[in-house]
Structures are given as C-alpha cells and as structure tokens.
Amino acid sequence: MWQRLGQARLFLSDSQFGTCPCHHGGGIALPNDTSIALHETLGFQKVAHFKEVGRKFERWIDVGYWQLLPGDQVNAEPGFIR
C-alpha cells in the first residue's frame, strides 16, 4: 500500500523548516516499518535503539529514536513511501 507524505513534507518544507534552528526528534515503537520509512525518507537518522522498554498489546516492545538536526538535508520533494 502506498501513502502520500503530504502533511509531513509540508511541515518539513524549506519555507517552514529551513529557517528553524531546532532539533527535531521522534520516538517510534518498534517494529513499525511504515513510520521508519516516513522518517528516513524525510531525512531523519536513527540515533538510538532501546530494547524492551515498554509494553504494548501484551508484549514487550523496543523503541527507536530518529533525529533531524538543523542543517541536515530535508527531503521535501513530492513523492510516495511504501
């Protein structure tokens, strides 16, 4: 299934993100291939992986953290992710 990146790309477009001297980060409950693909397509890089730090749906889950720093290349071109 293919999904558009519309709002995420709009949020991270040069006109809205390029002037912000902010560090952006996101924690993702793993596994979550769609969310990982979204973040990495936008330029986020994985910076941490914590094993069995929480429970969800009666099982232990890992949590990964992705980060986008000021000056990192933001991929804001229209497109799709899988």
Whether 3 contacts 78, CB under 8 Å: no
E strands of the chain, at which residues? 3-4, 24-30, 45-56, 59-68, 80-81
Summarised one tens digit per residue, pLDDT across range 3-53 is 555 656 655 654 455 556 777 888 999 999 989 988 888 888 999 999 999
* Confidence at residue 2, expressed as pLDDT on a 0 to 100 scale: 41
* Confidence at residue 25, expressed as pLDDT on a 0 to 100 scale: 86
* Confidence at residue 10, expressed as pLDDT on a 0 to 100 scale: 59
Residue 60 has pLDDT above 90, yes or no: yes
